[in-house]
Amino acid sequence: MYLTQALKRTMQLEGRNTATICGDRVRSWNECGERVAKMAGALRKMGITDGERVAVLALNSDRYFEYFYAVPWAGGVFVPINIRLAAPEVAFWLNDSGTEILFIDDNFLHILEALDGQLETVREVVYMGDGPVPNGMHGYEDILAAADAVPDALRGGDDLAGLFYTGGTTGRSKGVMLSHTNFVCNSYNVIGGMRFRPGIHWLHAAPMFHIADGLAVFGVTMVTGVHIFIPAFTPEDSLEAIQAHKISHGLFVPTMMNALVNHPDIEKYDLSSLESVAYGASPMPEAVIRRAMEVIPDCGFIHAYGQTECAPLSTHCGPEYHVFEGPNAGRYKSAGRAALGVEIMICDEDGNEVPRGEVGEVCVRGPNIMLGYWNRPDLTAEAIRDGWMRSGDGAYMDEDGFIYIVDRMKDMIISGGENIYSAEVEDVLHRIPAVVEAAAIGIPDEKWGEAVHAIVRLRDGETVDEAAIIAHCHEQIAGFKCPKSVSFRDEPMPLSGAGKILKTELRKPYWEDKQKQVN
Amino acid sequence: MYLTQALKRTMQLEGRNTATICGDRVRSWNECGERVAKMAGALRKMGITDGERVAVLALNSDRYFEYFYAVPWAGGVFVPINIRLAAPEVAFWLNDSGTEILFIDDNFLHILEALDGQLETVREVVYMGDGPVPNGMHGYEDILAAADAVPDALRGGDDLAGLFYTGGTTGRSKGVMLSHTNFVCNSYNVIGGMRFRPGIHWLHAAPMFHIADGLAVFGVTMVTGVHIFIPAFTPEDSLEAIQAHKISHGLFVPTMMNALVNHPDIEKYDLSSLESVAYGASPMPEAVIRRAMEVIPDCGFIHAYGQTECAPLSTHCGPEYHVFEGPNAGRYKSAGRAALGVEIMICDEDGNEVPRGEVGEVCVRGPNIMLGYWNRPDLTAEAIRDGWMRSGDGAYMDEDGFIYIVDRMKDMIISGGENIYSAEVEDVLHRIPAVVEAAAIGIPDEKWGEAVHAIVRLRDGETVDEAAIIAHCHEQIAGFKCPKSVSFRDEPMPLSGAGKILKTELRKPYWEDKQKQVN
């Protein structure tokens, strides 16, 4: 079982048909496959042998896609770098992974300059842009033109295919080691669960370094779909691309979905080609998904839940559960049920399954579970218990196997001994029409240990005061869950590279000299 | 990756819903799963430990289904026995596999009697029927009731899961060793390719010992489908079951499909629940598939091609290619294209890929390829070359990856140096309205080496003579392909347990003192 098998099969089936669309560049599967085999030749010529790391720091493009296949074809390991990192963090990822070759585009050359002398293992840099090749770098198209196609290295099974770093927003980043089997099994699970069919048109709008879009790189190829790239998410570029390229499938994280479906011009675009849109990577405010279902009524929405360590899909909740009436009403609030080849168990702290309906930690088992953390057997042993990956997420499971995520364990607020799930509070805050963004965090409180604090950003020109917000919450949820205080901010919330609100950043000013209790 | 994962997941998702329907017995997934865990406990109590073989010789039933899960749950290896075998052949399979426990139903007790003293390794027999338990055997329900559920043995990956014997109709049978990964990956490929969806209703009409139906045991469970069993295929029982249980999916070998769609009462049944019917295991006469599409017009037909060694699916040709007009017209005559996780290559005798359009041997690579032949590393080495399984089938591939099977290499007739594919001749014979069954074989010929000989069975009361049949062929295919002689038979063709016409039997009288040239 190996990653490049799908590329070869799709070349055999659809060789003359379109593989990638990136701006004006359109390439067939035959062209794409030949370029991959030649880029693999170039990597081999640069000394890449089995298991060596090749990183990329770039916005989305067809070349990023080719990279994802050329590296394993050459026998190497891909290491996609978070595009939001500061230079020292990039240095840590590259050095920690022992990356030998770095692919980079124009947007990140300044980071490379800032790191002069700090990269311990990178010995070659490949420039992926279209401008003149910077001094000391190889031009992507130059080395490709000069290389001969090489046979596939045929690494597979439990061989390491990619290193995806997680965290980086809190504590030290960890390299998640994902194997060929991990990726292929995840693709199978995605195809079965996310309604992939032959010939789908996938919009790569979420950043490709993140495994939430990465899943589509491999899954879409496997079903002979077409890949369409925009450099980075903006609502305008996404809407344009959906209309121009008849996008049928895509994935947006909640912050992107929010920006997309609340875009003032959304009605002007023809979005009727959309069959299936997945969302995930962080909790989706109910108001946003309801709005999405209103403005793109013929599209099926799928909540995909997972994490990098699970390659990433663990559960999904499909369009049949995005309904407001009948026996499945309200199930769209769940993260759905175990994906095809995945086992899900809700556990107590000792790893025992808890009864249905009780909150515990989501644990995941299957061939999609990572090999471990790179050079961190200590963390691997903590994370994987008897083959079960501990997600760090709190959830309960209903009688039909649907899981309801209540919070990241570490985002849970504990006030007066009660567990309060920030996602629940945020959902209520989002129901206030004037609220654009909202976060609930725990702040130090002498009496309760932690108190719920709300941080909100209002729509331009709208006003609502602290008392009104707190009163609104009291109408909807139990008193102990309601914010005791509210702060307002004008600028957008700080986001991680994956578009998640950085709670750690929001909490920082309140906890500077105190220790946040992490469950 | 392990077989019983799907059972546990389906219990979690659909525990209270129907799993199996067998006559009057209807069981939920919770019941079914509990019975499996208890039967595994019974097997453990009888001394089955990891990797030991447990065989079954029975008609289709819900208990046969439970057996397929209980054996791996206990850590054992299932060995389904062909129901058409003579007693000495059964003895060979049981002894060769080193089977320790045999499950058997009423229909095969006489075989066991005939084998008294000849079974070298079988030490316990489990009676699967509903009558009184024969002396010296365990009753299926008795040992189940007395057993405690045991935890899953959790064998998986490359661990041996099942032994499926092939051949047996010619030469010595070989035990095909299939792993957990083989079966799970095949299920994924089937789900992606054969339009399995949650909640399908599958009719187990083809014999469950054969992997063509076996694929459904695991794939249907994986998508939370419902299993409906009839003991053995008859057109009447199949039609009744389709109507009564709203069957949506099933698989029929061509001889079954022929009997089904040409049944005089077919119009009296409501078959509108049928969404997708697969056929395969031997070439389908064109007249039969055309007739099927006429009488079940809303059903999608899928030609599934594979072999036991590929667990079994290699390629498939879906409903979109079962059309008579447009760019895909005629493609239903192909075996379709590579299944999701499968690579297909058409090779010459040295293992090099031949150009598109040229006939060579179908070779298959992927995680579905068997571990090898049981105790026959010599045959394994012949069959698998550089990871590619040599199918023994001759085919060519078109520009879009569709493969057209021209014949079993060994059924090919070589006359005057020309390769003649018996399937092509049989297709022409089937176009004669009076013909019910037809076979083309090579018989010894002094001048040409082999001459094409047709064997036909006519519809009751119809007549057509040798000259007319030969003349009909001359109108449709090249002279060298046409039968030089025709023989008529009144009784049905001899069939293998999988419903394939036994060409070896038909050839025997002509070749008794000669050596058939096998390619």
CA distance B95 to B89: 10
Q: How many CB atoms lie within 10 A of CB B475?
A: 9
Closest chain B C-alpha to A188 CA, distance in angstroms: 6
Q: How is residue A481 written in tokens?
A: 């869950």
- Give the residue among A225, A231, A243 at the shortest CA–CA distance from A205: A231
| Neighbour tally for B406: CB within 10 Å | 20
d(CA B121, CA B93): 11
Measure B131 CA to nearest chain A CA, in Å: 37
Say if the Cβ atoms of A401 and B13 lie within 8 Å: yes
Which pLDDT does position A516 carry in this prediction? 45
B367 touches chain A (CB under 8 A): yes
CA distance A40 to A4: 12
The total number of residues shown for chain A amounts to 519
pLDDT tens digits for range A233-287: 999 999 999 999 999 999 998 888 989 999 999 999 999 999 999 998 666 778 8
A9:B223 CB<8 A: no
CA distance linking residue B100 with residue B126, whole number of Å: 11
Sequence-ordered list of residues with C-beta below 8 angstroms from that of A456, at least 6 positions apart, any chain? A429, A432, A435, A437, A438, A439, A469, A486, A487, A488, A489
Contacts B16 to A, Cβ<8 Å:
399
Give A519's pLDDT tier (boundaries 50, 70, 90): very low
Of the two residues A503 and B7, the one the predictor is more confident about is: B7
Average pLDDT, chain B: 91
Q: pLDDT tens, A110-147?
A: 999 999 899 999 999 999 999 999 999 999 999 999 99
Q: What burial letters (b/e) apply to B118-131, b meaning 16+ CB within 10 Å?
A: ebebbebbbbbbee
B437 bridge partner residues: B457
A479-488 per-position pLDDT tens digit: 888 999 999 9
Residue A444: pLDDT over 90: no
The secondary structure of residue A216, as a DSSP letter, is H
Q: What one-letter code names the amino acid at B108?
A: F
Please state the rounded mean pLDDT for residues B239-259.
Answer: 93
Q: Are strands B300-306 and B276-280 parallel, antiparallel or unpaired?
A: parallel
Model pLDDT, residue B514: 59
- Residues A179 and A157 sit within 8 Å (Cβ to Cβ): yes
Q: Confidence band (pLDDT; 50, 70, 90) for B284? A: confident
pLDDT at position A514 over 70: no
B390: left (phi over 0), alpha (psi -120 to 50) or beta: beta
pTM across the whole model: 0.84
Nearest to A72 by CA among A89, A48, A46, A98: A48
Burial class, B357, CB count within 10 angstroms (exposed 0-12 / middle 13-18 / buried 19+): exposed
A199 in the Ramachandran plot: left (φ > 0), alpha (ψ -120 to 50) or beta? left
pLDDT digits (tens, 9 = 90+) for B99-155: 999 999 999 999 999 998 899 999 999 999 999 999 999 999 999 999 999 999 999
A9 touches chain B (CB under 8 A): yes
**Residues B88, A404: Cα–Cα separation, whole Å:** 58
B414 in contact with chain A, both atoms CB, cutoff 8 A: no
Considering CB atoms only, which of B5, B14, B401 is closest to A341? B5
Q: Give the Å distances, CA to CA, from A380 to A170, A174, A348.
A: 18, 10, 19
pLDDT of B518 > 80? The answer is no
ipTM of the complex: 0.83
Instruction: Find, among A241, A402, A240, the residue nearest to A336 by Cα.
Output: A402
Say if residue A183 is exposed, middle or buried (CB neighbours under 10 Å; 0-12, 13-18, 19+).
buried
- Tell me what the pLDDT averaged over chain A comes to: 91
Say whether pLDDT at A318 is over 60: yes
Q: Decide if B246 contacts B463 (C-beta within 8 A).
A: no
- pLDDT of residue B465 exceeding 60, the answer is yes
Cα separation, A255 vs A285, whole angstroms: 9
Q: How far is B489 from chain A (nearest CA, A)?
A: 43
Helix axes of B286-295 and B422-430: crossing angle, nearest 10 degrees: 50
Q: Which fold has domain B412-511?
A: GMP Synthetase; Chain A, domain 3 (3.30.300)
Across the range B91-98, mean pLDDT stands at: 95
Q: What are the angstrom distances between the C-alpha of A449 and each of A415, A416, A444, A515, B1?
A: 6, 6, 6, 11, 45
Q: Is the pLDDT of residue A202 over 80?
A: yes
More confident residue, A444 or A409: A444
Cβ-defined contact of B1 to A185 (cutoff 8 Å) = yes
What tokens were used for B443?
A: 């018989």
pLDDT band at residue A170, thresholds of 50, 70 and 90? Answer: very low
* B31 C-beta neighbours (distance < 10 Å), count: 16
Chain B: residue whose CA lies nearest to A221: B340
Instruction: Verify whether the Cβ–Cβ distance A342 to B9 is below 8 Å.
Output: yes
Range with the poorest average pLDDT among B115-129, B151-165, B505-519: B505-519
Report cis status (omega within 30 of 0) of the bond before A231: no
Residue A242 tokens read as: 């959906």
- The Cα B11–Cα B197 span in angstroms is 17
Is the distance from CB of B334 to CB of B321 less than 8 angstroms?
yes
Which residues in chain B have Cβ-Cβ distances shorter than 8 Å to A399? Answer: 15-16
| Contact indicator for A29, A17 with CB cutoff of 8 Å | yes
- Say yes or no: B403 contacts chain A, CB-CB below 8 A: no
Nearest to A323 by CA among A290, A346, A356: A290
Distance of alpha carbon A457 from alpha carbon A480, whole angstroms: 23
SS3 A95: helix
> Which tops the pLDDT comparison, A282 or A170?
A282
- Residue B168 — pLDDT band, cuts 50, 70, 90? very low
Closest CB from B9, B14, B192 relative to A191? B192
Chain segment B8-55, per-residue pLDDT in tens: 999 999 999 999 999 999 999 999 999 999 999 999 999 999 999 999
A211-222 and A180-193 helices cross at what angle (nearest 10)? 80
* A158 inside 8 A of chain B by CB: no
Q: Please give the distance of CA A336 from its chain centroid, rounded to a whole number.
A: 17
Which pLDDT score is estimated for B417? 67
Instruction: Name chain A contacts of B181, Cβ cutoff 8 Å.
Output: 1
In chain B, residues under CATH classification 3.30.300.30 are 412-511
A457 sits in the region (left: phi over 0; alpha: psi -120 to 50; else beta) called beta
Residue B192, chain A, CB below 8 Å: the answer is yes
| In contact, A165 and A78? CB cutoff 8 Å | no
> In chain B, which segments carry CATH 3.40.50.12780?
4-394
**Could you tell me the two tokens for B226?**
């419902």
pLDDT given at position A287: 85
Q: What is the rounded distance in angstroms from the CA atom of residue B108 to the CA atom of residue B111?
A: 5
Q: Which two tokens stand for residue B438?
A: 């037809």
Contact A50/B at CB under 8 A = no
Residue B508 binned pLDDT confidence (cut-offs 50, 70, 90): confident
Percent above pLDDT 90 for chain B: 75
A199 neighbors A225 (Cβ within 8 angstroms):
yes
The closest of B367, B369, B356 to B404, measured between CA atoms, is B356
**CATH architecture of the domain with residue range B4-394:** 3-Layer(aba) Sandwich (3.40)
B335 touches chain A (CB under 8 A): no
Residues 6+ apart with CB under 8 A from B148: B38, B41
User: Which residue did the predictor score with more confidence, A89 or A320?
Assistant: A320
Q: Decide the pairing of beta strands B418-420 and B413-415.
A: antiparallel
Residue A497: pLDDT band by 50, 70, 90 thresholds?
A: low
On the 0-12 / 13-18 / 19+ scale of CB atoms within 10 A, A285 is buried
Helix H or strand E encompassing A241: helix A235-244
Given a contact cutoff of 8 angstroms between Cβ atoms, the answer to whether A7 and A69 are in contact is: yes
Spatial separation of the C-alpha atoms in residues A242 and A233, rounded to whole Å: 12
A271 with A243: CB under 8 angstroms? yes
d(CA B402, CA A132): 44
User: Whole-angstrom Cα distance, residue B346 to residue B402?
Assistant: 11
DSSP string, B49-63: -TT-EEEEE--S-HH
Least confident of A382-391, B209-218, B289-298, B482-491: B209-218
- Phi then psi for residue A6, to 5 deg, are -65, -35
Give buried/exposed letters for A340-356 (b at 16+ CB in 10 A, else e). bbbbbbbbeeeeeeeee
> pLDDT tens-digit profile of A55-81?
999 999 999 999 999 999 999 999 999
Closest CA in chain A for residue B192: A192
Per-residue model confidence (pLDDT) at position A417: 67
Give the chain B residue nearest A189 (alpha carbons): B188
The answer to whether A28 faces chain B, any CB pair under 8 Å, is no
